[in-house]
């Protein structure tokens, strides 16, 4: 008897709790190479730690893909880990192995704010990857305002987190960097999810009611957007 392959759940499915649980599992997989690097550096030295960290970062990609369902951004994540490893070896500073999260946060924040400048909110684009949205709804003030504000908040939070993590990485101990990355990773995402659903829901419900739609349409659209956003952040290293 052959095992039946199970397709990854569609982003946004299952409600807020399901989205948060899937993202938590993905974030935990992402922390495996980072915690392994920390202990390997203490017990085996920097060279072994970098090698183990890079190897595990590649090894856990299939596990992360169970929750993302796409290879879209994995190569960026691997390049980030290799770049952090090279920096750590060249400078003999193990804290720079975590430069991936700072660079990922900064790039993501700039991309979010830049998308607003050109009038194409990035979170709305992520939503279109996972949930088919009515072209009519895309033209409504509710849709435009919702994703503009949500994209703005994600951009500001990511840039602020990049600055805080960079400061800690340059001034704290390796253990301190680990703790700050952990505390500012998934917990921050959870808060963003709550805001990203609460704020637009007030606007979207008005539109759904006006067309006689069901309330689950609102949650599916919003949760699909934020889960796709998290998947990209995880694979480029911003959530680790």
Compute the average pLDDT of residues 200-221: 66
Compute the average pLDDT of residues 121-146: 75
Taking the C-alpha atoms of residue 19 and residue 108, their distance in angstroms, rounded to an integer, is: 20
Burial of residue 27 (CB within 10 Å: 0-12, 13-18, 19+) is buried
52-94 pLDDT, tens digit per residue, is 988 887 777 776 666 555 545 555 667 778 888 899 999 999 9
Helix (H), strand (E), coil (C) string for the chain:
CCCCCCCCCCCCCCHHHHHHHHHHHHHHHHHHHHHHHHHHHHHCCHHHHHHHHHHHHHHCHHHHHHHHCCCCCHHHHHHHHHHHHHHHHHHCCHHHHHHHHHHHHHHHHHHHHHHHHCCCCHHHHHHHHHCCCCHHHHCCHHHHHHHHHHHHHHHHHHHHHHHHHHHHHHHCCHHHHHHHHHHCCHHHHHHHHHHHHHHHHHHHHHHHHHCCCCCHHHHHHHHHHHHHHHHHHHHHCCCC
184-202 pLDDT, tens digit per residue, is 887 888 888 778 777 777 7
pLDDT at 12 over 90: no
CB-CB contact of 5 with 209 (8 Å): no
CB-CB contact of 27 with 239 (8 Å): yes
Compute the average pLDDT of residues 117-127: 85
Confidence of residue 220 (pLDDT cuts 50, 70, 90): low
Confidence of residue 129 (pLDDT cuts 50, 70, 90): low
- Least Cα distance to 39 among 146, 211, 174 occurs for 174
Give the pLDDT confidence score for residue 4 in this predicted structure.
47
- Least Cα distance to 107 among 87, 68, 80 occurs for 80
**Assigned token pair, 123:** 């979170």
Average pLDDT, the chain: 77
CB-CB contact of 222 with 200 (8 Å): yes
Give the pLDDT confidence score for residue 123 in this predicted structure.
82
Give the pLDDT confidence score for residue 216 in this predicted structure.
59
């Amino acid at each position: 008897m052959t095992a039946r392959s199970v397709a990854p759940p569609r982003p946004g499915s299952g409600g807020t709790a399901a989205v948060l649980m899937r993202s938590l599992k993905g974030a935990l997989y992402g922390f495996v190479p980072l915690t392994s690097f920390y202990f390997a550096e203490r017990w085996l030295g920097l060279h072994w730690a970098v090698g183990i960290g890079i190897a595990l970062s590649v090894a856990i990609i299939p596990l992360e893909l169970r929750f993302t369902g796409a290879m879209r951004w994995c190569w960026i994540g691997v390049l980030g880990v290799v770049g952090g490893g090279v920096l750590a070896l060249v400078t003999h500073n193990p804290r720079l192995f975590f430069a991936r999260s700072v660079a990922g946060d900064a790039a993501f924040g700039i991309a979010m704010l830049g998308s607003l400048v050109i009038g194409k909110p990035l979170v709305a684009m992520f939503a279109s990857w996972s949930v088919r949205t009515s072209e009519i709804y895309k033209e409504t003030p509710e849709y435009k305002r919702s994703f503009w504000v949500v994209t703005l908040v994600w951009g500001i939070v990511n840039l602020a987190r990049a600055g805080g993590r960079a400061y800690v990485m340059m001034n704290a101990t390796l253990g301190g960097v680990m703790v700050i990355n952990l505390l500012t990773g998934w917990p921050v995402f959870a808060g963003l999810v709550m805001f990203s659903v609460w704020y637009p829901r007030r606007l979207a419900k008005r539109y759904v009611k006006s067309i006689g739609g069901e309330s689950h349409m609102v949650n599916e659209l919003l949760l699909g957007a934020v889960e796709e956003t998290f998947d990209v952040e995880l694979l480029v290293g911003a959530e680790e």
